[in-house]
Chains A and B, each alone.
Chain A
Amino acid sequence: MNTGLRVLTLLITAAILQSSIFTEMRIDGMGVELLLLIAILSGYHGGPIRGAYVSFWTGLVNDCIVASPLGIHALIYPVIAVAVSNLEERFINEKRIIRAFGVALTVATGVFLTAAVGHIFGEKTFNTNSLPETAIIAGVMTTFFSYPLSRIVNWTVSSGMPQEVKTRLTGSSR
């Protein structure tokens, strides 16, 4: 299966889940940002260019399912993906808890940025009264899904990319 088809399948599946079960799974009215998580993970696994493309389409899909103006999420998600891709090397060897904190922080930042851009474009729908609370809860809830989704996104966006070269120094015999 080529990358385009994998991405399409992933995005449609994520759109269905986000607009069904994840709409109901809320704590105090706040829910999981599944598509934002895909944008973050595509930057992490796919690199800046592939991550930017995938997250752009992810943003468009999110704009469709939440009925926001087409382009608002698509404007933010590639920026997040490229930023994550640039920070990836610093986090790749960190403990899992640190990486999870990084995901939560990035989701919260994404929620803030989307609200800010929505506000700039006069979308009062984005004007939530409790934005910090929303960002934190959404960040924490979304992070719980990052581990299983990370593998799926890795499989989706890494196809056709050069494999990681593993080198091992075995004592003095090189």
Chain B
Amino acid sequence: MPNRSSDRPRVVLLVLMVAALTLLTAQFRDFLPVDDFQQGFRDVISPFRKVVDRATDPFQTVWKGIFNYEEVSDENERLQMEIARMRGEELRDEADRELLERLLGEVDIDYLELETVVARIIGVPGGNYNSHVVEINKGTDDGLEEGAGVITKAGLVGYLYEVDRSTSLVRLATHPDFRVGVRLINSQDEGLARGNGSVGVLILDAGINIDAEVSIGEVVVTSGGRSIFPQDIPVGRVNDPDKEADYARSIEIDLSASLENLSFLNVILETREN
């Protein structure tokens, strides 16, 4: 006679696994308000998170001081060098500004004029899987929408993929799921670039002809069109044009915005169809 009591855990486990798979299917097929449930949960715990964050701030500072000392020290050095460089460039910039404005006008680049919301990075999401994602302190209450492009003065950063009431998650351009239409300034060739999980690098491997003339250091900007990003946002410079490719080019682009040292971001308010 079979032992029913020993079978029960297996039945329960099976039922729970079916329930989890049903939820996953519901989310991927968009037929249940699963996203709303997740956002609602995060919204409910958000005020408590802020309280705990404030209460444990001294402890967090000590922790970072112990375990991230080298990182902080490197950043400090980098910032000092940056300040020195900026001071030196200040006078030259003044003279160049007029020239820059004239050039931007000639190529119709007006990304600095975009209507944006400034947001501060407050951290990364919990868990050990969300690399290439950062959390910002603005959400739907500030007029942000899912899919909005995120930039800095240096150029492309990523886009919003989860927007709660007071916080949002930004998927950075280096994330493996990130795609953006780009244009090479010299050749005016357009293609699709993607993140590949490497720090500071985008790969342009779709839409570019095998015999296209691409040079090292060539400036890459967004191509606009149906993309969520308006056109002419600086993306970066070509680092490896992959001229030796036989069948398909895989051009490496160094991002102009340093995604590892971000503090503040600009979220573009005018979202477009993806």
Contacts and interface: CB of A to CB of B under 8 A. Distances in A.
B9 A48 contact: yes
Contact of A69 (B28, B125, B176): B28
A31 B127 CA distance: 7
Contacts of B104: none
B126 A70 contact: no
A74 B169 CA distance: 22
Contact of B45 (A19, A115, A129, A134): A19
Given A24-B60, A56-B16, A128 B52 contact: no
A64 B41 contact: yes
A66 interface: yes
A79 B12 contact: no
| B interface residue count range (under 10 / 10 to 19 / 20 to 34 / 35 or more) | 35 or more
Interface string B45-74: 100111011001001100110010000000
Contacts of A31: 126-128
Interface string A32-67: 010000000000000011001100100111111111
Given A70-B27, A124-B177, A49 B12 contact: yes
Given A49-B9, A49-B12, A70 B175 contact: no
Nearest to A126: B129
B126 A23 contact: yes
A21 B129 contact: no
Contact of A15 (B9, B19, B45, B175): B45
Contacts of A70: 23-24, 26-27, 34, 37-38
Interface string A111-132: 1001100100100111111000
Interface of A: 12, 15-27, 29-31, 33, 48-49, 52-53, 56, 59-72, 74-75, 78-79, 82, 85, 111, 114-115, 118, 121, 124-129, 134, 138
29 contacts: A19-B42, A20-B50, A21-B59, A24-B53, A25-B60, A25-B63, A30-B128, A33-B128, A48-B9, A49-B12, A52-B16, A53-B12, A53-B16, A56-B16, A60-B23, A67-B125, A72-B24, A75-B20, A75-B21, A75-B24, A78-B13, A78-B20, A82-B9, A118-B129, A121-B24, A121-B28, A125-B177, A127-B176, A127-B197
